[in-house]
Structure formats: structure tokens, C-alpha cells
Amino acid sequence: MATSGIHRNKIIKQTMTHFHIEDPSLESQWRAIILFGKNTATYKFAFALSLLKMIEEEKTEITLEDLSDPYAQYMVSHIKNNPSQSTSNASSFLQACHQYNTAQLTFDRLREQTLRHGFRYVIDAFQNVNGQQIPSPFFYKEFQRGKKKLIITDEMLKLKKSYHYHHFAQEVDARWHLVETAWNFKLNPALLEVEADIDKDTFFIQKSLMRRIDITSVRDALNGYQKGKCFYSNKEISIISGHKDLCEVDHFLPHCNKLQHTKEGANINGVWNLVLTDAKTNNEKRARIPSEEYLYKLHERNEYYIQSKHPLAETIINQTGKTTDQRRLFLQKQYNIARQYSLHQWQPKR
């Protein structure tokens, strides 16, 4: 039986709310904005990257004039490679960005258009998730007597000091690439298949036998959904190349049983089966089957993907099932298959 629109919206709200309420940390609230905020245009991502850049200077006030330069630069940079940055073509700001990229507009003129049109909706919408403002806002808008600025809160400055802060820019950019991919290649959601190249740490789409489109880093794309922690041990992990805590990508159900899963129509290399781990834990796990408690965690993690939309979401739906119950049964079936070929269950040392 098909899920009604009202019931499906209720499930979405519960999933998104659970993401940051069961973990109300500032890091979780920031990630909820990036992963679950509405995406009718990519302004949110350019705004987030601009805000992160300005916060590096630890300013407590940021004028829109100051913010407009990085904001416009991020937009024109992405537009060069992916022209479609909105579900609507009626955008004076996006038109100005296109004109700048084709040398029809100077940067001074682009800055004027950014100030006039670029922030029209994004500032008010940015901190809203599921129709409500996040519990700990990172800024407040102060538009008085013709002066427009953002007042940075103590929460944003605290966020800057967190372990996860230096991962945020990579996570935002990865999310941006995932959203714009579906829009620019006009992919049929029912046929969408994002594949993973673990050796190259890349998510990609195979458009044809001769054409592969790389989207973004596997680590960068997955990290936010795990809240920057190892899937098994809950240790802090990093996605920064060369970092001592650099995470590894693990097949939850071992790759060595690929043939058995393939016979049942399952792609063991699918996004649904990939998690991030700390190196030590991954080395201890090897090709063993995690204890069943982690299967429920995997299901929850996959539901986070699905509620955050394109294109990992569609890929997981196509690979595991259209409804929550179908996806839960799919995971259980694949887990049972894996258990047939494993003598022992594994769990990290407590």
C-alpha cells in the first residue's frame, strides 16, 4: 500500500527532528541545516561557505557588503561547471552570475546585484529546519536605517572551536555537489544509481560505457550523516587528508560475500552498505559481521540520507526499497545472508 502524503511528511519530520533533538549539539544543529534544509536553490550552500569563511576572522558583526564577495564567488565558481543551481529559472541573482561568467558583467556590477537580489530569501530561511528555527541560532539579522548586517552569536563562535568545525566546509561542498548533480544532468530518479569507487574515495555516476561523472568524495558526503564519528566505536573521525584521525570507508556487510548478495539482487558496494570508521576499529573488524544492534543503526543512518533528498537518497531507495518497512526488511535479509557465511558476530571493544 502506498504511503499517503500526510503520513510520509510525518515520517520525514520525525526523522529530521530526531537527527538534532536526540543530539542537540551545535555541530548537529549545523549539520541539520545543511542536510535537511529545503533545496529549491543552492544559495544555502554558498551562504554557509561564506559564513564559515567570515567566521575565521572571529567577527561578531558581518555586513552584507562583506559577505557579498565570497557569496558571489562561490556561486559563480559552481555555475561554471553546473549551470543549473535552482529549480526555477526566474532568478535575477543567478542571471547576474551567468553574465559575469560570460564576461557580460564586471565583478563590481555582480556585487551590486548580489546585494540587491542574492540574499533575498536565504538569510531568513537558512536556520529553519522542518519549519522551525534551530534551538541555538548562529546569527541574527539586523537591518536598520539602511544598514544590513548579521550579528554573530556566541553559539557560532563556540562552534568554531569544536573538533568538527574544520570538516564543515568539505561537508557543505559535498552536499552542494550532490544536489546540483541531479538538477544538471536531469537524471530520472527511478533510474538513478550513484556508485562508489572506494580506492579513489569518489562517488560517481556512469552516464554511459565511456562516460563517468565524478561527483564528490565518499568521506566528505558521508561524514555529516554520522555526525563526524566512527559508525561503530563512536570515536571522533576526520575527513581531512593527512590528519591523524583520517577515517576509512568500510563495507558494513563484508565485500568478500559479494557473490551471495548479488544472487539476491543486492549491490554490496551500494551507498546503503558504506559507513565511515576510525582506522583502528576498521582493522579490528576486517571482514566480520557486526552484531545486530548495528543493523538498526545502519537503517537509521540510511533514513537520514533519504530524507535529505538527491541523489544518494534516490539511489538508496532504488537499491533497498520504496518504503521504510521494505528497506528494513531488505537490510535484515542481506544481514541474514551474510550471517550464513560468517561464524562469528563482531562488535568494537567497549
Query: What is the pLDDT tens value at each position of the chain, 350 positions in all?
Result: 444 444 444 444 455 456 655 668 999 999 999 998 777 788 999 999 999 999 988 888 999 999 999 999 999 999 999 988 887 777 899 999 999 999 999 999 999 999 999 998 899 999 998 888 999 999 999 998 778 999 999 999 999 999 999 999 999 999 999 888 877 777 666 666 888 999 999 998 887 767 888 899 999 999 999 999 999 999 999 999 999 999 999 999 988 877 778 887 788 888 999 999 999 999 999 889 999 999 999 999 999 988 887 678 888 999 999 999 999 999 999 999 998 887 678 988 76
Q: What is the pLDDT of residue 189?
A: 62
Give the C-alpha separation, 147 to 165, whole Å.
30
Q: What is the pLDDT of residue 1?
A: 40
- Can you tell me whether residue 323 is helix, strand or coil? coil
* DSSP line for 240-268: STT-TTB-EEEESS-GGGHHHHHHTT--T
User: Cβ distance 46 to 131 under 8 Å?
Assistant: no
Give the C-alpha separation, 152 to 156, whole Å.
7
Nearby residues of 155 by Cβ (< 8 Å), 6 or more positions away: 26, 136, 137, 138
Residue showing cell 575527513: 239
* DSSP line for 62-76: EEHHHHHHHHHHHHH
Nearby residues of 94 by Cβ (< 8 Å), 6 or more positions away: 41, 75, 79, 85, 86
Q: Nearest-5° angle of CA 159, CA 162, CA 164? A: 100
Residue showing cell 557579498: 68
Q: Nearest-5° angle of CA 263, CA 290, CA 231? A: 110
> What is the pTM (predicted TM-score) of this model?
0.89
Query: Do the strands 289-290 and 345-346 form a parallel or antiparallel pair, or are they unpaired?
Result: parallel
Strand partners for 132: 129
